[in-house]
Chains A and B, each alone.
Chain A
Amino acid sequence: MIGESMYQELILEHYKHPQGRGLREPYDAEVHHVNPTCGDEITLRVRVGDAGKIEDVSYDGQGCSISQAAASVLHELTTGSTVEETLSVVDEFTRLMQGRGQVEPDEDVLGDAVAFAGVAKFPARVKCALLSWMAYKDAVVRSAAR
């Protein structure tokens, strides 16, 4: 059963009990990203504190379990880290997702996000996993431009 390798327990856990969901104040940048092929969407806010530390990533949206769980994991991995640290996690996650299942993930960098490794084998679902992460990257860039 190929499906079981994609729907890891950890992904289902995050989907059923999303971490940090809901839009919060204050924030430095807000973005809205949409996946036109399936209609998944996310609104995401970042709050960057002193010394480039991510104080909060808040979000709201709708979509499949993969896209919603990815947002929840993103919230956990980024909050409390520096912008620079989080961008290297985003890069590694992107590399994993675009690796067509051929990329060996760096667990030290990705933490819980390695659970998404199975998604990379399903090209149609890669965009679901990346939706919130691309939104986050966009929000960070915009917050820096302020």
Chain B
Amino acid sequence: MTQTSLDVERIRKDFPVLSRELPGGRPLVYLDSGNSSQKPTQVIETMREHLAMHYGNVGRAMHVLGAESTEAYESARDKIAAFVGAPSRDEVVFTKNASEALNLVAYSFGNPANADDRFRLGPGDEIVISEMEHHSNIVPWQLLAQRTGATLRWFGVTDEGRLDLSRLDDLVGERTKIISIAHQSNVLGTVNPVADVLARARQAGALVMLDASQSVPHHPVDVAALGVDFVAFTGHKMVGPSGIGVLWGRGELLDAMPPFLGGGEMIEAVWMDRSTFAPIPHKFEAGTPPIVEAIGLGAAVDYLTGIGMTAVEAHERELTAYALDALRDLPGLRLIGPDSLELRGGTLSFTLDGIHPHDVGQILDDDFGIAVRVGHHCARPLHLRFGIPATTRASFYLYNTTGEIDALVRGLHHVQKVFA
């Protein structure tokens, strides 16, 4: 076993599911955290306690429970703001997931209700994404291009699985209004060179959004230091519950943007023929929000902060180094993504010669209790780019061990034997 500053055995005890036995007496080997992470007792108990003893609606109920719920909900916002280095808590908007955060920004563009030139979008304007994006950072921009007549363009991906910046100056120019790319690829594990893209974007006067769904759970992320305009991430991949996501945006931009969804709590005053709107962040939080989920995400952030994101990152780096070495020795295995630790996270996707990923995943699960993801991982264009229909993906988190990587390698050897 490798030594890290992080006590994995103690951490594993915080996650009840990790000691569960699967049918047939198999232990669980959970290598699918890039899909969704497991939850520690601290998050589960915080949510249970709130539901049981403190639950009321937020921001509007004039009683003890309403006050306690509002306090817990808003203090979750404080925790998340601190966790990602947001200059102001008001810049943290709760959404239901990262997809909604991305859509919220996409719908701000080309909206006739918008008065700010930075969000005006029409024929001749350009949106830039990349070939390695998750569908949630592709489809909202395709729809935006369809609505407005703007042109969608994208960065290619190199054979090694890096963002191809060779055409940066051609792709990003004065027509570009927004660039939206992944901070870390959910398939390749690649961490993208945000600073290079941002520098060109600033020259061109374009806004920059990051899909940080795969980076915020695994690395220390400071949105102010990154210097971008918008960051989207989701709770369920960072030991928090599903149903809660976050949009961080620069306050001045969020102020300038039109509302996204209309409804209760996002207003200032309503007449029959018009409305004025609440200040941010509430302008973007129409209706009763996912209260307990937000509070659960606050507990998740407390949990991760307690361990330290630097330690989480270092642990995953060791796991990734170990896994890259182990997988390299498997005959017929083709890694899709960087083969080195440089600018890369703990997500490893690969193919096995002559064996379909669905068969790989099925046998790993049935025979060894190993949970990986198989398919195109909501990144079909990226798989088309590599000329493959699907991959098998192992993704690591703070609770994984090198022993689990050994189990994966044994499992893959067995899969190859079945199809030999």
Contacts and interface: CB of A to CB of B under 8 A. Distances in A.
Given A1-B24, A38-B390, A63 B362 contact: no
B388 to A, nearest CB: 9
A16 to B, nearest CB: 8
Contacts of A7: 359, 363, 418
B356 A6 contact: no
A125 interface: yes
Given A39-B375, A39-B390, A65 B367 contact: no
A3 B375 contact: no
A125 B375 contact: no
B410 interface: no
Contact of B366 (A6, A12, A40, A62): A6
Contacts of A62: 389
Q: Which of B356, B357, B366, B367 has the most CB of A within 10 A?
A: B356
B253 to A, nearest CB: 36
A6 B362 contact: yes
Contacts, number: 52
Nearest to A39: B389
Interface string A45-80: 000000000000000001111100000000000000
B419 interface: yes
B358 interface: yes
B376 interface: yes
Given A7-B418, A12-B418, A38 B375 contact: yes
Contacts of A2: 23-24, 366
B362 A125 contact: yes
Interface in A1-57: 1-4, 6-7, 12, 15-16, 37-40
A16 B376 CA distance: 24
A89 interface: no
Interface string A97-137: 00000000000000000000000001001001000000000
B297 to A, nearest CB: 29
A55 B410 CA distance: 46
Contact of A37 (B24, B356, B375, B383): B375
B389 A65 contact: no
A40 B375 CA distance: 10
A15 B419 CA distance: 9
B416 to A, nearest CB: 13
Given A16-B419, A125-B358, 19 more contacts: A1-B366, A2-B366, A3-B363, A3-B366, A4-B367, A6-B366, A7-B418, A12-B419, A15-B419, A38-B375, A38-B390, A39-B390, A40-B389, A63-B389, A64-B356, A65-B359, A66-B358, A66-B359, A128-B358
13 contacts: A2-B24, A3-B362, A4-B367, A6-B366, A12-B418, A16-B419, A38-B375, A39-B376, A40-B389, A64-B356, A65-B356, A125-B358, A125-B362
Shortest Cβ-Cβ A-B pairs, 8 listed? A3-B366, A64-B356, A64-B358, A39-B389, A2-B366, A3-B367, A65-B359, A64-B359
